[in-house]
Structure 1
Amino acid sequence: MASIALKDLLENFNDLADDEKEYFLEIARKQLIEFRRYKISERVKEAEENYKAGKVISGNVESLLKDIEND
């Protein structure tokens, strides 16, 4: 279903005037930026929860590699 909407969007995009295409792309870029910010904030929340729950280990590269090898 999403692919049909995307196909329609692409077909309709070609019918837009040049300035409308630029405006659309500007809005799409801004929405993509906001979406990425949201995903980053969700990842930060997850990382904070893991840290509070003690699911995070810290150390230098050597100690982390040893830890991985022991699993």
Structure 2
Amino acid sequence: MELQDYTKQQLALRNGQDKPQIWVAFQGLIYDVTESRLWRNGKHYEHWAGQDLTDELSDAPHTAGVFEKFRAVGKLKS
């Protein structure tokens, strides 16, 4: 299945506040983290949903493997 492209503006709406979906981007892919208890209300520690977290992974206590738990729902347009 081909993943749909989304702009940064479209991703920003999936922040857990404006729309019911909670999405984050990492390395060009957009992941649905809506069901994660760690992303309630669109916030995960000092990180906010609806944005590209690629540059923020170095601050996290986990590796990129954490994204394997979530379904990719789209691609982030550059």
Q: Which has the higher contact order (CA 8 A, sep 6+)?
A: 2
Larger-Rg structure: 1
Determine if the TM-score, normalized by the shorter chain, exceeds 0.5: no
Higher strand share: 2
TM range (shorter): under 0.3
Structure with greater helix percent: 1
TM-score, length of structure 2 as denominator length: 0.22
